[in-house]
Amino acid sequence: MPHFLELISPHIHSIGVEATRGWIGPTRIIYNQALVLVEQGACETRFEGVAPIVNEPGSFIIKPCNWRHSANQTSRGKIVLRWMHFDWAYQEPPLLPSMPVNCYFPGKPRSELVRHAPEFIPADRIFHGPIPAPASTLQAFDRLGERWNNGTARERASCRALLLEILVDLLGEQTGYLPKSDNSRNETGDAQRHLASRIRERLNRMLDDVKTARLPLEEELTKLGFSYPHLCRVFTHAYGISPLTYYNSMRMERAQLLLRDTLHPVNEIALKTGFASPAYFTRLFTKYTGRSPRDYRNAS
């Protein structure tokens, strides 16, 4: 029989990010499957009948449906979790946003809402462990979340392919589908990946605020305590592109959404995405998309 990663065709219900302190997940069962990526902080999940599972930074867990469990943060400070509810393959009825995903104890689960994994998924196994490539996986998850929550119908449809790629990356080596990597996970490598993740998080936060979006990258990134050239080397090694290229790419994706989904004039969109000069914004947008902002909006 083929490996189960060749048989899955995942379908997404919902995607989100949680950044908080003192996080507690009360006792519950979930009706579908839940993928959780831990970027920062640590937590412990307790399933009935198995030993507690501890997730450190840069790790993941896939929580099976209909298995009572609870969870809580075990680290101090902030914890950052990326989560997704999904099915391993298409089921009837199809996943709808209105469908509940949890039943909290002592409530009684509704059996008709439980979405069991297909028979080819290993039974009674809770997939968890370190994320093989944390930086690229978190970047892919953020791209997936942006498409799913804000994209067009075509972009949302493509999310299934991106989720499949993420699942293969997470489970391929662990389940024997992919050969083991020769690259050892040493402390230096982990520290570099963590720093790259902090750079990406800082860039994302900058873009979320109109005031910080226009600030020079060097000025903001060096607040992390390292020289700008060093930060650029670390980021480029982790993601394959420079911080500036990543930031401009995120600005252009945000601009495309604003052009398509709002009536804001082009000069206002330029300001919202961190460009003081609408002319420079137009040149960069045209270079990035092959169309001017006006042409892009008219074609959307």
Mean pLDDT of 87-96: 88
Give all strands (DSSP E) within 115-170, no chain letters. Answer: 128-130
Asked whether residue 145 is domain-assigned, the answer is: no
Domain that holds residue 51: 4-134+152-171
Asked whether residue 146 is domain-assigned, the answer is: no
pLDDT digits 0-9 by tens, 242-297: 999 999 888 898 899 899 888 899 999 999 898 989 999 999 999 988 999 999 99
Asked whether residue 181 is domain-assigned, the answer is: no
CATH classification of the domain holding 245: 1.10.10.60
Which single residue is written with the structure tokens 């048989």?
Answer: 7
Report how far residue 221's alpha carbon sits from residue 223's, in angstroms, rounded to the nearest whole number: 5
DSSP designation for 111: G
Coil, strand or helix at 197: helix
Judge whether 165 and 140 are in contact, CB under 8 Å.
Answer: yes
Print burial letters for 259-286: b (CB count within 10 Å at least 16), e (below 16): beeeeeebeebbbbbbbeebeebbebbe
Counting the structural domains of the chain, the total is: 2
Read off the tokens for 160. 């299934």
Q: Which amino acid is at 164?
A: L
Preceding peptide of 106 cis, ω within 30°: yes
Let me know whether 160 and 235 are in one domain. no
Report how far residue 199's alpha carbon sits from residue 216's, in angstroms, rounded to the nearest whole number: 14
pLDDT digits 0-9 by tens, 202-239: 898 888 777 888 888 998 899 888 889 999 999 998 88
* C-alpha separations of 85 from 7, 10, 131 in Å: 19, 10, 18
How much is the mean pLDDT over the chain? 89
pLDDT digits 0-9 by tens, 120-149: 998 888 999 999 888 778 888 998 999 999
Asked whether residue 243 is domain-assigned, the answer is: yes
Q: At what angle do helices 243-261 and 228-239 cross, to 10 degrees?
A: 70
236's enclosing H/E stretch is helix 228-239
Listed range (64-73, 74-83, 104-113, 205-214) with the worst mean pLDDT: 205-214
